[in-house]
Amino acid sequence: MGLSYRFQQFWKALTARPPQSDLALASTALTPEQFGLFTRLQPSEQAHSLGIYHALQAEGRVDPDLLAAALLHDIGKSRYPLQIWERVLIVLAKVILPEQTERWGDAPPSGWRRPYAVAKQHPAWGAELAEKAGASGLLVEVIRRHQEPLPDHPQSPADLLLVHLKRYDDQT
């Protein structure tokens, strides 16, 4: 991804706030327990998730687990919210030191490695939170796997939902 794209992404993260109408939409698309998780996301993360939701709807996607995954895929980040400078640090480190960044992500979420741990471990944390909130097994699996590479030949129900989710996750 180019520098221009990353700057736009940074600016969006700094300024994005979902409108009330989108929050109301999320509250109807999720169970009350799931919406409680959604509200724990930072406003820029909510806006990102709602952008994916709208993109999927615009192409006619109606699967409730897919739409819920659009809204909840990053809820694991709510365990250890990151500052904007920490997000920038992660992006830069992934480009400059990808192998070290991957190793740092395996550390406990404390000290200077905290941002890297959040970046890598938030899918597993999000899956745990979603499961506790009564999400379907399919939704939990999609949240857990949303940062993994897709298989060469997606076949399982989760694979097929991930194809659509991942198409917009990096773009929105």
Instruction: Delineate the domains of the chain, giving CATH numbers in brackets.
Output: 22-169 (1.10.3210)
pLDDT value for 19 = 85
State yes or no: pLDDT of 145 exceeds 90: yes
User: Of 95, 146, 103, 99, nearest to 124 (Cα)?
Assistant: 146
User: Residue 14 — pLDDT band, cuts 50, 70, 90?
Assistant: low
Q: How far is CA 61 from CA 18, 35, 70, 121, in A?
A: 21, 20, 11, 28
Q: Across all residues in the chain, what is the average pLDDT?
A: 92
Helix orientation angle between 137-145 and 114-132, rounded to the nearest 10 degrees: 170
CA atoms within 13 A on the CB side of 130: 29
